[in-house]
Amino acid sequence: MNIINNIRQLRSWTSINRGTRCVFVPTMGALHEGHAALIRAARELAGQSGNVIVSIFVNPTQFGPGEDFSKYPRTLIEDLGLCRDNGADAIFAPKAEDLYLADRSIQLFETSLSKTLCGTSRPGHFDGVCTIVAKLFNLVQPDDAVFGKKDYQQLAIIRRLVRDLDFNVVIHGIDTVREADGLAMSSRNRYLTEEERAQAPVLRAALLKAREAYVKGGERDGKALQRLVLDQIAAGAPAGRVDYVEVVDASTLQTPTETTELVLIAVAVFFGSARLIDNIELK
């Protein structure tokens, strides 16, 4: 497995491997089984003859004032082992100064999909995401890239980024990996107290209840589905503080319409300093 630390080394690696299918897994490190599933999915897409490259980079431009950039876990040695064990061929782990020059003056702005859900309480976050992903796509030049569905808004925005800026890369959304009790795996789960960890699985339970109401009960009123989820969280997670519960079109992230093909319920709940997100597709 190749460990690539800077842009010069990465460009050399991409040049040597040009013509071989390249599947990219961008991450911020602190890897867990959810990331392992992304790497395995990438390995399957690449086949035995292709390459899987994983980036490990805690991107400073997607953290707002007061967010946990300085505290975000950095576990590079453990991350390298997980990548190797799940089939990665190369790791790109640059320093911030390699990707962001001190006098930089150009960045990307997202003006539609980022104005709802997490974007409401994290202004500028998805501008940082778009900027770093565009830079990484330019550097890695992958044929495919895989992203988890846990951050569904991010997935929708990356798809829009690829469409609007004509990147020649296919985006694959991978189902959320969960703990045995249903809690979505997240690097931020380690911040939970014992009491908060015991209550956190109610997010998944509430979403499943809403899907049951949608599929079996025929409930199509977004407000009713929203209220059902809110009531379940209030009853099962008194330590939680709801940021949002929204019923949206999975593509536009706006209120569903008659032409909506896939409805999504997305939630964000604070447990202490940890902000947990989850979602469910309604089919």
What pLDDT sits at residue 75? 94
CA atoms within 13 A on the CB side of 123: 1
Categorize the per-residue pLDDT at 71 as very low, low, confident or very high, splitting at 50, 70 and 90: confident
**84-88 own/partner pairs: CB under 8 Å, 24+ apart:** 84/1, 85/36, 86/36, 86/39, 86/40, 86/43, 87/39, 87/40, 87/42, 87/43, 87/52, 88/1, 88/25, 88/39, 88/42, 88/43, 88/52, 88/53, 88/54
* Residue 68 clears pLDDT 80, i.e. is over it: no
32 noted as active-site residue: no
Write down all domains in the chain, each with its CATH number in brackets: 2-174 (3.40.50.620), 187-282 (3.30.1300.10)
Mean pLDDT of 25-34: 96
* DSSP3 helix / strand / coil % (the chain, rounded to 5): 40, 20, 40
Residue 176, token pair as written in the block: 């959320």
Task: Give dist(CA 74, CA 172) in Å, integer.
Answer: 26
Average pLDDT of the residues of the chain:
96
Share of the chain above pLDDT 90, in %: 95
pLDDT band at 66, cuts 50/70/90? Answer: confident
The per-residue pLDDT for range 122-178, each reduced to its tens digit, is 999 999 999 999 999 999 999 999 999 999 999 999 999 999 999 999 999 999 999
What sign results for the dihedral spanned by CA atoms 170, 175, 176, 177?
A: negative
Residue 73 pLDDT: 86
Is the Cβ–Cβ distance between 269 and 237 less than 8 Å? yes
Residue-level pLDDT at 69: 87
Q: Is the pLDDT of residue 58 over 90?
A: yes
- Residue pair 86/27 in contact (Cβ under 8 Å)? The answer is no
Average pLDDT over residues 29-43: 97
In which band, very low, low, confident or very high, does the pLDDT at 67 lie, cut at 50, 70 and 90?
confident
Q: Kindly state the average pLDDT of the residues 201-226.
A: 97
Per the residue annotation, which of 32, 35, 125, 172 is the catalytic one? 35
Q: Identify whether the C-beta of residue 146 lies closer than 8 Å to the C-beta of residue 45.
A: yes
pLDDT-derived band at 283, boundaries 50, 70, 90: confident
Q: Mean pLDDT, to the nearest integer, of 185-191?
A: 92
DSSP one-letter code for 178: B
pLDDT tens for each residue of 76-123: 999 999 999 999 999 999 999 999 999 999 999 999 999 999 999 999
User: What amino acid is encoded at 242 in this protein?
Assistant: V
pLDDT tens across 243-274, in order? 999 999 999 999 999 999 999 999 999 999 89
Contact 226, 247 (CB under 8 A): yes
